Chains A and B, each alone.
Chain A
Amino acid sequence: MTPTTEAAAPRSRWARIRLGALGPLIALALLMILGAILNDHFLSLANLANIVARSSFIGIIAIGATFVITTSGIDLSVGSMAAFIAGMMIIIINSLVPSMGSGWSAILVGILAGLLIGTAAGAANGILVTAGRIEPFIVTLGALGIFRALITFLANGGTLNLNAQASDTYSPLYSGNLLGIPLPIIIFALVAIIAEVVLRRTTFGRHIAAIGSNEQVARYSAIKVDRVRLMTYALQGFLVALAAVLYVPKFGSANSSTAVLWELQAIAAVIIGGTTLRGGFGRIWGTVVGVVILELIGNILNLQSFISPYLNQAFQGAIIIIAVLLQRSRKTTN
């Protein structure tokens, strides 16, 4: 009995790993082939660079969401938080321009302030979840409303615009490149690499996965569950602020309709990438692939004039459902 089962087990585990990991990659490859067929300019460096650069906003936020979801939590406030942080950054930079000039010094203070505000906002979510013992869904749903109202209040129902000279200094952070690669892509890649290392190779990362898969066992294993949870929410807040730091040079304004529904796109990217919503397992590079897939759908629909552009979100929704179905069928067959 035992020798045959031992011989059978390694082969099915290998098959399971291959299917699970390759799913998002196969989808990405198919979409790339479709795009290349539809339009000659699809595979041009400029187009691909555009796609990856503009997925950096949702991508950086989704990497933070991967950590949160792996602990079986969730953060619905990321879109409104991004809008709030962008608004605060614009206010701070605009108020510093008269005294510090419109050069990098005022902008760096604004960036630092934004990162601090984001981390603090994330930590506030985390404290309510851990010490307050409130469901993450409820806490972040409330935070979503609070931040959205705050940005509307700060903009007085209108729009906050970045000072024009400061905007000229700041915009190379999004449109500039280093060695030919756009800066947002470099920052996105750095965040993804560091996050993958943290999740896979550090104790912190293993604790996150442990808490997500079975919180009670993690607690009995002397893992500081509350502290780790708090840190994931604070990390999410920091990454949301980083996305806002990249958003402000491209768009230069913030109002009540900024970053609406970004949380759903981030969570969708995380799910497509292979991280399970119930927690316990996280895949950072899967999230990156998921973000690029979602952005590719919009790009491919722009390449042709046959399908109505209104159907963009229908395709995104369909891909999310298919991705989850594939994950589920893999589990049941094993």
Chain B
Amino acid sequence: MKLLKTTALAAIIAGGALFAGAAIAQDKTYTIGVSVPTADHGWTGGIDFFAQQAIDRLGKLYPNVKYVLATAPDSTKQAADLEDLVTTRNIDALVILPGDPDAMTASIKKVKDAGKWVTIVDRALSQPGIPDLYVAGDNPGLGATTAAYFKQAMPNGGNIVILRGAPIPIDKQRVDAFMDGIKGTSIKVLDSQFVN
């Protein structure tokens, strides 16, 4: 989880720095919008905390770049946040962690079509080719490493159950990589359910 929080921090810095680096040459003020889910549990709480920290740090580093942070508990509010960021805060770039990537695809595409630079963190959209930058953890690697551990821990096979995460594409990447990893062994998956 620390890895993912650091990833989010890195995304904000990368997205911000790439954009701010170009901005520092001119004397114009740029605005970067940051849209993240509400802190309803530890992981999202960490995202919000490190996003705020990154904003404070980058704000001092690049004085002509302003940041706007918006948090949303669901996709309806997050889509509303994107509309407001573009219309009233005049952002030039967007860094977003979509709470529900399938529902947010159309809204993020609209921001991209409006000419903004889009960075997506952690959760990929249902259509490819929309973001300018996609920062995520190594999800297939997570699955493969877990499979390697299970092969080592259960050399004679056994029964396992899989408790999946949120029903989003990166969960599928992890589980697919895990299933590939245990293929051919005598580890049997009794059941696999979404529990998030």
Contact = CB atoms under 8 A, between A and B. Distances in A.
A40 B148 CA distance: 57
Interface in B63-122: 68-72, 74-77, 79-81, 83-85, 87-90, 100, 102-107, 110
A175 B109 CA distance: 13
B88 A302 contact: yes
B141 interface: no
B38 interface: yes
Nearest to B109: A171
Contacts of A295: 80
A257 B104 CA distance: 13
B186 interface: no
Nearest to A167: B106
Contact of B100 (A42, A159, A312): A159
A253 B100 contact: yes
B127 interface: yes
B113 to A, nearest CB: 11
Contacts of A255: 100, 102-103, 167
Interface string B148-184: 0000000000000000000110000000000000000
Contacts of A39: 88-89
Interface in A170-228: 171, 175
B79 A250 contact: yes
Contacts of B70: 302, 309
Interface string A294-315: 0100110011010001101000
Contacts of B185: none
Interface in A237-284: 250-253, 255, 257-260
A257 B84 contact: no
Interface string A29-50: 0000000000101101011001
A268 B110 CA distance: 31
A50 B84 contact: yes
Interface residues of A, number: 36
Interface in A33-91: 39, 41-42, 44, 46-47, 50, 54, 57
A155 interface: yes
A161 interface: yes
Contacts of B29: none
B84 A47 contact: yes
B53 interface: no
A47 B106 CA distance: 19
Nearest to B85: A302
A158 interface: yes
B87 A46 contact: yes
Q: Indicate the member of B69, B84, B85, B194 with the most A CB atoms within 10 Å.
A: B84
A145 interface: no
Contact of A157 (B80, B87, B106, B194): B194
A139 B68 CA distance: 44
B101 to A, nearest CB: 9
A258 B126 CA distance: 17
A305 B72 CA distance: 15
Contacts of A167: 106
A310 B167 contact: no
A326 interface: no
B103 A41 contact: no
A131 B40 CA distance: 42
Contacts of B26: none
Interface of B: 38-39, 68-72, 74-77, 79-81, 83-85, 87-90, 100, 102-107, 110, 126-127, 167-168, 193-194
Interface of A: 39, 41-42, 44, 46-47, 50, 54, 57, 155, 157-159, 161, 164, 167, 171, 175, 250-253, 255, 257-260, 295, 298-299, 302-303, 305, 309-310, 312
Sorted from nearest, which 7 A-B pairs have the closest CB atoms?
Answer: A158-B167, A157-B194, A253-B102, A302-B84, A41-B88, A251-B103, A50-B83
Given A175-B110, A250-B79, 15 more contacts: A41-B87, A44-B87, A50-B83, A50-B87, A158-B167, A171-B106, A251-B79, A251-B106, A252-B102, A255-B167, A258-B75, A295-B80, A298-B77, A309-B71, A312-B77
